[in-house]
A and B are shown apart, each in its own frame.
Chain A
Amino acid sequence: MSFIDNIVTWLLIIAGWWIVHALHEVRNFRSSLRQLAAEVRESASDLRKKAYNYHTASQHNDELSGDIKRDLQRLAALCRFLQPVYSEKEINQHIKNLRRAITSENFDSPINHRKLDVNDPVLTNIDVATDDLVFFVENAYFTIQASFPVRLILLTRNRRI
């Protein structure tokens, strides 16, 4: 076998290994995204329930308001894992929208707390912001599929999940 044939054989072996490795990495990444989406869906749903309970209660609840702020912080940390798919700015936009929807009005004010009606715009905004965030995270899976060839070339570098 000539030297050239040897080189070609080795190149094919390396290329094969590289493709198998890249496919494995992409598969792992997509599986992590599915888990992340499930986790965000569950956390966001819990948060929505807590926000509804807080805003529809006749009195301010200190413990519940603390829980809501902690949950928002955790959800923001969870969403950081989407950075290989989305930009920091895109992720932040959804976190800010949700925090604002829940905590900018009728929040942490024992004296001025109002019991909100279920049709109140504050609660509608909470629904919209929560749904938007969940959809955004679920959509990451399809975004990754669209960028599959690029990820293959980059060997899924900068993978954070």
Chain B
Amino acid sequence: MSTVKVINVAKDFSRYPAGRYKDDGPFTGEHFREDFLIPALNKYDKVVIELDGTRGYGSSFLEEAFGGLVRAGFDMELLKKKLHFSATDSSLVEEIEEYIEDAAKAHDCSPEP
């Protein structure tokens, strides 16, 4: 049986998500990725992110939280399969998907260590 985790950004994380790196504040994209997204992706088959309810998102937060998953080693296809979004503003979902794809492209182009 598949397991599902629902993360409501406003309720579970913050109504005021802001910033890219941990140095930028208490509710940044890096915090969200490391404290919520990665543990949920490692434990559950499907992760639903509810984006409504916050006071808006900056692209820096979105890119670091979701594009950063690819840089952290998650496969794009796996993310497409596992990550699901619920949002009134569908431009947010499109933007997140683009960040994941862009990060995957950059990851593929980067030289092997």
Q: CB within 8 Å of B: which residues of A?
A: 62, 65-66, 68-73, 76-77, 88-89, 91-92, 95-96, 99-100, 103-105, 107-112
Specify which chain B residues have a CB less than 8 angstroms from the CB of A100 in the assembled complex.
59, 95
Q: B16-28, CB under 8 A of A: which get 1 and which 0? A: 1011110111001
B contact patch SS: loop
Shortest C-beta distance, B27 to chain A (Å), equals 10
A69 to B14: give the CA distance in the assembly, Å: 14
Give the distance to chain A from B54, nearest Cβ to Cβ, in Å: 8
* Contact between chains at B91 and A76 (CB < 8 Å): yes
The answer to whether B60 touches A92, judged by C-beta atoms less than 8 angstroms apart, is no
Contact in complex: B89, A108 (CB < 8 Å):
no
- Report the interface size for chain B: residues with CB under 8 A from the other chain: 24
A62-B18, A72-B56, A95-B91 are known contacts; what are 20 more A-B pairs with Cβ within 8 Å? A65-B58, A66-B16, A66-B18, A71-B56, A73-B89, A92-B91, A92-B94, A96-B94, A96-B95, A100-B95, A103-B58, A103-B60, A104-B59, A108-B18, A108-B25, A108-B61, A109-B21, A110-B24, A111-B24, A112-B23
How close is B62's CB to chain A, nearest CB, in angstroms? Answer: 9
Interface assignment of B44: CB less than 8 Å from any CB of chain A: no
Do the beta carbons of B91 and A104 come within 8 Å of each other? no
Instruction: Give me 25 A-to-B residue pairs in the complex whose CB atoms sit less than 8 angstroms apart, sorted by A's number.
Output: A65-B18, A66-B55, A68-B56, A69-B57, A70-B56, A73-B56, A92-B90, A99-B57, A100-B59, A103-B59, A104-B58, A104-B60, A105-B60, A107-B58, A108-B20, A108-B25, A108-B28, A108-B58, A108-B60, A109-B19, A109-B20, A109-B23, A109-B24, A109-B60, A112-B23
Measured in the bound complex, the distance between the Cα atoms of B95 and A110 in whole Å is: 24
**Chain A residues within 8 Å of B60, by CB:** 103-105, 107-109
Query: What chain A residues lie within 8 Å of B58 (beta carbons)?
Result: 65, 69, 99, 103-104, 107-108
